[in-house]
Amino acid sequence: MKINIYYGGRGFMDDPTLYVINKMQTILEEIHVTVERFNLYELKNSITTLPQTLKTADGIVLATTVEWYGIGGFMQQFLDSCWLYGDKEKIAKIYMCPIVMSTTYGEREGKLNLSLAWEILGGMPCSGICGYIADATILENNEEYLRIIEKKAENMYRTINQKLPSLPASNQIVKQMVSITKNIDLTPQESEQLSQYASDDAYVRRQKEDIQELTSLFRDMMSNNEQDDSEEFITEFKNHFKPKAGFKAIYKFTIDNRKRPLFIEINGMDCDCHYGEKGSNNIVERADVEMQISRATLNEIISSRMTFQRAFMAGEMKMKGDFKTLRTLDQLFSFVEAV
């Protein structure tokens, strides 16, 4: 049998959690259990690779110290790595004993958090240890506390050796129904390397400058493209214009993938077509009819395969305004060839 101990504290000599796991390790080794210790504070630059060490373990101990609030960053980072990179099928067969000692408030919550996290990962939690210990010497000088630690170590060994089953937990069922782990194509080593880049201020600043340069470049390219096709559709409308004496109206076309709308202003015998939000008098135009249409549908109309009214009735074009003025549009621009 092999048991891994993952210690998430900061390694201080007076840390009561260290005393507990040292005693548990001694007791387990006395009953011929192979114990391997991982001090996360010493392995903080390679925590993302530690889930690989779970593959050879029959059980684990997650031990941490609550110094002010919660289970601490090292342990949280290890659990995050288990979620992202751990072998869930292997984790489902591993028993976990939580050990949380507190020098302040919150040891029970910390123990509960470790148990819940391991259940969500799919593993099986054992009965753990938690307690408020302001001074590690209190543990060393109390025989009753030592017997509690020995009993917990023996119970863990018995649970793993006999592979005692546990009833299903609701959080595992909910996870299976609604939780989806995003696939990450990067290896833990590649992810760690990216994390190092992200913490490099010079690298991040250089990347931001490159992004700004590329953004400026593409903005200029889009602006040039916009200028190149600034006459799109205008020539067709002007060439097919059929004046209607005394008729006045302003049509606004919002065309997909174009930033500026197309305005067609009819004033008797005159037809003014342009892109933008302002007319020749530099006043924001108020259209009588506003239409939203795709470039493909507008090409269909210009190619005499559809009319504005048919496009609206078929749902290919949306409009807002006077429907009678919309119908007049097919009379003003005769794209349909006579049969």
pTM of the model: 0.54
Kindly provide the residue ranges of all beta strands, DSSP E only, lying in the chain, ordered along the sequence. Answer: 2-7, 34-39, 59-66, 95-102, 124-125, 129-132, 248-255, 262-267, 270-275, 289-293, 317-321
Q: Are 156 and 150 in contact (CB under 8 A)?
A: no
Reported as a pLDDT band with limits 50, 70 and 90, residue 176 is: low
Which residues, including other chains, have CB under 8 Å from residue 44's CB and lie 6 or more apart? 74, 77
Give CA–CA dist 70/51, Å, rounded: 21
| ∠ CA 95-96-98, rounded to 5° | 160
Q: How confident is the model at residue 166 (pLDDT cuts 50, 70, 90)?
A: confident
Q: What is the per-residue pLDDT across 74-99, written as a single tens digit (0 to 9) for each?
A: 999 999 999 999 998 999 999 999 99
Percent of the chain surpassing pLDDT 90: 43
pLDDT value of position 141: 86
Tokens of 77: 């980072």
339: confidence class by pLDDT, cuts 50, 70, 90: very low
Write the CA distances from 134 to 16, 65, 73, 114, 130, integer angstroms: 8, 11, 21, 21, 13
Residue at token pair 């880049």: 197
DSSP assignment of 285-307 equals ---SEEEEE-HHHHHHHHTTS--
Q: 74 and 44 in contact (C-beta within 8 Å)?
A: yes
C-alpha 246/C-alpha 292 separation (Å) is 27
